[in-house]
Amino acid sequence: MKKEKRYFGRLLMILALIFFYLPIVFMMVISFNSSKSLTSFTGFSLKWYQAMLKNHSMMESLYVTILVAILATIISTVIGTMTAIGLSQSTKRVRRYVSVVNDFPLMNPDIVTAIGLMLLFITLNITKGFGTLLLAHIAFCIPYVILSVLPRVRALDPNLADAAMDLGATPFRAILQVIVPEIMPGIVSGSLIAFTMSIDDFIISYFVTGGGVKNLSIMVYTMSKRVNPSVNAISTVFVVLITIILILVNVVPAIRAKHVKETTELKQAKKWPIFVIAGLVIAIIIGSLAGLKSNSTAKFGGQTLHIYMPSEYIDEDMVAEFEDTTGAKVIMDNFDSNEQMYIKVANGEKYDLLIPSDYMIQRLIGENMLQKLDQKALKKTFNAINPLILHQSYDKDNAYSIPYFWGSVGIVYDKRKVTVDELDREGFAIFKDTKFKGQVYVYDSERDSFMMALKSLGYSMNTTSEAELEKAYDWWVDVMKTMNTEIVTDEIIDNMAQARKALGLVYSGDAASILSTNKNMGFYMPKEGTNIWTDAMVIPKNASNVPLATKKVATANSEYVGYTSPVKSVEDQLAKTTFKGNAAYTPRLGYAKDEVFGYNDKSRKIIADLWSRVKVAASNA
């Protein structure tokens, strides 16, 4: 019976280890994948590691992550240790009060702590950046250090410090040479927890940083919004670094203990905690990463271009080339939605260049948040742009905006499961065809989802009629009840590239990437019309570096992202080369039933509420 229990326990342990470590192993294997797929291994390649090393933002995020973790660990360990020692000499009431205060951030959800710190920095008018990120990490690491050190302090003989001072030691020397060595295991434990918490944190970091300062967790989050296998490469590198540190922490002490009596040098080494050695190794890594930064004495040397744009919207090679040729530093912040971007800009955060969508540009213009462009200086740029995407309703004279990318919303379909005749006959209503039940992806975008419902019903996607919006809501509820539809975000790109379902609503640029990966996939724009969108470059009123903001390169960027370039010559070139035969790269223009989104605050709120109810219906279906 005991043997059976032993085997059962071992089996559970093995299964637990597989559960914890198999995803990490899978990630490391996929990091060597030759294709963009995040799930299917197609061949061995180091291309994503090369892309990672070229990516200035990614390497800088690794640098920031390690630097903040080390500084936060050292500072929080010192403060936490001194606090724990001080508490041991305090009254019972003080100890109880401080313990309650210390437990508060440990029990609070991270999001509450994050918002609290963000509001504190805003109230004190502290510019968010590296300093606020470090302060926040120190603040949430200190309680963990106190929690680790305090039990060791309590276990000490209370007369130990007094005995040391009776023998002539100063209070500081008594703490340093008598108390600290006795509680060293607790200090080491607390510092390792602090280091781990700092490395791991995302939510608090996301809310308290700014000025383009990102740690690795923020970088990975923004990269994972679109298919970018470099995220696996940087994660693998980080896993390897942590593994090396853990080996040092666990193996070196054992080797040292074995040989400590053999030489005087090793006896001296006993005085140094092993985490100091690990810290030195990390410091060397930081120095190496810092050495990757280049200094230029070019025309714009020492200046900074601060861009706020959607994630994965620019080729990192372009950024590196821009920095090398101009001498300027590019700081890129990424937003998940136009609404998130609006909140930051409306609250006065400074950027030199924004890349919002059409309807949001209309709102920014209406609220007087943008500068007018120098039309004479940009005459050649405007002459090169496809005239069919200029002078749109959101900025009729292009007084404030220059198109950056454009595209449409359409249906990606598996040619082996769906025919063009079916798409011609049903249009967006094919998402209600029970033949494809359980075979449908819908992108989690309230605007575009209601666009397809409204178009399918024969209405304008810019309708302000509440009755028509209610009918679109009923259309979606019917879909959710009958189709077993899966609502997703950017994972649709990889999923449709792997042909996991028959149909998916996607943006044309994402469709171009899907079609490039899988030749069995097609792209269709319904005859009842769809959304033709434009993301454009605009300069906010409080921009501080307008000359740099007006510089623009188009070719490499369009090829990298997959969205259609506004420059006609670039679009034609890529349509004949990189995206030859790819219907999604060159969506139709000039079709009477296609529309551009306009901004209407009332209908936006109604659609947001209705879409949230649709998702509730989906979860209950």
Per-residue confidence (pLDDT) for residue 296, from 0 to 100:
46
Q: Who wins on pLDDT, 24 or 322?
A: 24
**Burial tier of 250 (Cβ tally within 10 Å: 0-12, 13-18, 19+):** exposed
CA dihedral 39, 558, 62, 297 (to 10 degrees): 160
Q: Which of 230, 211, 225 is nearest to 62 (CA)?
A: 230
- Strand partners of residue 536: 403
What proportion of the chain, given as a percentage, has pLDDT over 70?
86
Worst-scoring range by mean pLDDT, 205-214, 332-341, 367-376, 548-557?
548-557
Q: Are 402 and 536 in contact (CB under 8 A)?
A: yes
pTM over 0.85: no
Distance CA 416, CA 50 (A): 36
pLDDT digits (tens, 9 = 90+) for 265-294: 444 444 444 445 555 555 555 555 444 444
pLDDT digits (tens, 9 = 90+) for 88-135: 777 788 878 888 888 778 888 888 889 899 889 988 888 888 999 999
Q: Are 459 and 468 in contact (CB under 8 A)?
A: yes
Per-residue confidence (pLDDT) for residue 221, from 0 to 100:
77
For 536, which DSSP code?
E
The two structure tokens encoding residue 311: 């994630």
Per-residue confidence (pLDDT) for residue 55, from 0 to 100:
74
Distance CA 319, CA 323 (A): 6
Distance CA 151, CA 340 (A): 44
pLDDT of 438 > 50? The answer is: yes
Distance of CA 202 to the CA centre of its chain: 9
Phi, psi of 306 (to 5 degrees): -105, 115
Half-sphere exposure of 288 (CA within 13 A, CB side): 9
Q: Are 67 and 290 in contact (CB under 8 A)?
A: no
Q: Are 129 and 143 in contact (CB under 8 A)?
A: no
Q: Which of 364, 314, 357, 316 is nearest to 338 (CA)?
A: 357
- Strand partners of residue 486: 441
Q: Are 131 and 213 in contact (CB under 8 A)?
A: no
How many other β-carbons are positioned within 10 Å of the β-carbon of residue 586? 16
Which pLDDT band, with edges at 50, 70 and 90, does 301 fall under? low
The b-or-e profile of 523-562 (16+ CB within 10 A means b, else e) is bbbbebbbbbbbbbbbbbeebebeebbbebebbebbbbbb
**Burial tier of 327 (Cβ tally within 10 Å: 0-12, 13-18, 19+):** middle
Average pLDDT for 439-453: 92
pLDDT of 375 > 80? The answer is: yes
pLDDT of 253 > 50? The answer is: yes
Which pLDDT band, with edges at 50, 70 and 90, does 621 fall under? low
pLDDT digits (tens, 9 = 90+) for 476-500: 999 999 999 899 887 888 889 989 9
pLDDT of 434 > 80? The answer is: yes
Mean pLDDT of the chain: 83
Phi, psi of 338 (to 5 degrees): -60, -30
How many other β-carbons are positioned within 10 Å of the β-carbon of residue 384? 14
Q: Who wins on pLDDT, 487 or 256?
A: 487
Q: Name, in order, each residue with C-beta under 8 angstroms of 236's C-beta and a sequence gap of 6 or more.
A: 27, 28, 31
Q: Name, in order, each residue with C-beta under 8 angstroms of 521's C-beta and a sequence gap of 6 or more.
A: 412, 413, 414, 415, 496, 497, 499, 514, 515
What proportion of the chain, given as a percentage, has pLDDT over 90?
32
Distance CA 81, CA 181 (A): 12
DSSP-derived 3-state class of residue 583: coil
How many other β-carbons are positioned within 10 Å of the β-carbon of residue 464? 12
For 593, which DSSP code?
T
In degrees, to the nearest 5, what angle opens at C-alpha 359 toward C-alphas 309 and 311?
20
pLDDT of 552 > 60? The answer is: no
Distance CA 412, CA 500 (A): 12
Average pLDDT for 562-579: 83
Q: Name, in order, each residue with C-beta under 8 angstroms of 375's C-beta and a sequence gap of 6 or more.
A: 382, 399
Per-residue confidence (pLDDT) for residue 367, from 0 to 100:
94
Q: Who wins on pLDDT, 287 or 463?
A: 463
pLDDT digits (tens, 9 = 90+) for 320-355: 677 777 777 777 788 878 888 898 888 888 888 999
Distance CA 354, CA 536 (A): 8
pLDDT digits (tens, 9 = 90+) for 376-392: 888 888 888 889 889 99
Per-residue confidence (pLDDT) for residue 259, from 0 to 100:
62
Per-residue confidence (pLDDT) for residue 272, from 0 to 100:
46
Q: C-alpha distances in angstroms, 201 versus 110, 147, 206, 208, 282?
A: 9, 19, 9, 12, 18
Which pLDDT band, with edges at 50, 70 and 90, does 550 fall under? low
Per-residue confidence (pLDDT) for residue 1, from 0 to 100:
53
- For helices 230-259 and 56-88, the axis angle rounded to 10 degrees is 40
Q: Who wins on pLDDT, 350 or 249?
A: 350
Q: C-alpha distances in angstroms, 50 versus 92, 213, 323?
A: 58, 23, 19
Per-residue confidence (pLDDT) for residue 225, from 0 to 100:
55
In three-state form (DSSP H/G/I as H, E/B as E, the rest C), the secondary structure along 443-495 is: ECCHHHHHHHHHHHCCCCCCCCCHHHHHHHHHHHHHHHHHHCCEEECCHHHHH
Distance CA 355, CA 58 (A): 21
